[in-house]
Amino acid sequence: MLVYLALVALVHELGHALLARPAGFRLTSLGLGAGAPLLRIPLGQGRVFVLHRWFFLGGACVAIPATLEGGRRAAWFHGGGVLAQLALAPVLRLLPAAWDLGDLEEINALMLIGNLMPWRMGGQVSDGWRLFAALRPGGRGAGVLLDRRAALQHLQRFEAARGSPDGEAWARLLLGWVGAQRGEKTVVEAALTPPLREGAPVVLRALRLALALDAARRGPEPEGAAPALWAEAEALQAEGVDPAARALVCGAAARLGIRVGDREGAARWIVAGGEGHDGGGLLRLAALERALAEGAPTAAAAAACLDSLDGDPLDPAGAVAALTTAGQRGPGAEGWARRLRAAG
């Protein structure tokens, strides 16, 4: 019985793992069971397989986006475990009766139903809930960033216990952005202090650099930190990062330029960032802030900034403040203003 539970759990998690890359994700950890880790097997490039003490109590597959570009391909990853179990069902039916696999078919069916049920409890979310979130109109996967704090805290602890550096860093950096919205400097500092592992994915390096640029912009002496951070941003762009990562870093660099009074430099970063990508929310916000600083017309920039609020913005507070100054408050900005007040 316990072996059957472990077998179905392993099939489920392997389904997630196999569909991670086609769905635009990068596997960080794959594990079977619960409790203290008994065996860790490095899979290379920051990935790890973990066998836990209670090997028959389910499992978990963790992956982070391989790119900041969005899209509904995420549903393939979240549904990968269910698809694997659906594929297992007819195979079990075709096996010879002499094999006497007992309740394996029933166990697979019950676990399939359980995985499809949409529920959310604290920092844990079912596959069914993630599928519903990803497939609904305007779905963004796990929801907007401010709503995912508990889930991110759970993920950070979970990946740290497994010895998965990339998954832990992903959760920690996103928590840093949540802390920035809430004015929690210690959370931002905690997100930036540990270095990324050597050879970390570009998506993590871009997210960390953008957070560092944002932290410098909010700090008391941004002029001192700006040159080194801009040099790091230039080096990252030279590597040919994906458009969304480039837009994210350039937007953060442009906003730091505006903060220190380098409007020409900010304009260059805005041009370098490009347009039309999911990582471009900070870039559109920078364009609006630059227009406000120069006393230029803001209608077009404000409209673009409003559009970026429909997704999962990293700095909704900054966008709401800039839109208020520009006199361009819409329903999206009003909704975010209420959400930010509720978040404290």
- Pull the structure tokens for residue 194: 């540990």
Antiparallel, parallel or unpaired: β 120-121 and 124-125: antiparallel
Handedness of CA 318, 319, 322, 327 (dihedral sign): negative
Residue 190: pLDDT over 80: yes
Q: List pLDDT tens digits, range 178-189.
A: 999 889 999 999
Q: How far is CA 242 from CA 66, 236, 246, 281, in A?
A: 10, 11, 6, 15
**pTM score, two decimals?**
0.91
Q: List pLDDT tens digits, range 50-109.
A: 999 988 888 999 999 998 876 667 889 999 999 999 999 999 888 877 677 778 989 999
| Three-state SS annotation for the chain | CHHHHHHHHHHHHHHHHHHHCCCCEEEEEEEEEEEEEEEEEEEECCEEEEEEEEEEEEEEEEEEECCCCCCCCHHHHHHHHHHHHHHHHHHHHHCCHHHCCCCHHHHHHHHHHHHHCCCEECCEECHHHHHHHHHCCCCCCCCCHHHHHHHHHHHHHHHHHHCCHHHHHHHHHHHHHHHHHCCCHHHHHHHHCCCCCCCCCHHHHHHHHHHHHHHHHHCCCHHHHHHHHHHHHHHHHHCCCCHHHHHHHHHHHHHHHHHCCCHHHHHHHHHHHCCCCHHHHHHHHHHHHHHHHHCCCCHHHHHHHHHHCCCCCCCHHHHHHHHHHHCCCCHHHHHHHHHHHHHC
**How many CB atoms sit inside 10 A of residue 51's CB?**
15
Beta bridge partner(s), residue 121: 124
Q: List pLDDT tens digits, range 303-319.
A: 999 988 887 789 999 99
Q: How far is CA 226 from CA 25, 229, 230, 261, in A?
A: 32, 5, 6, 11
What φ, ψ does residue 2 adopt, rounded to 5°? Answer: -65, -35
Q: List pLDDT tens digits, range 15-42.
A: 999 999 999 999 999 999 998 999 999 9
pLDDT of res. 279: 61
Reported as a pLDDT band with limits 50, 70 and 90, residue 141 is very low
pLDDT of res. 20: 95
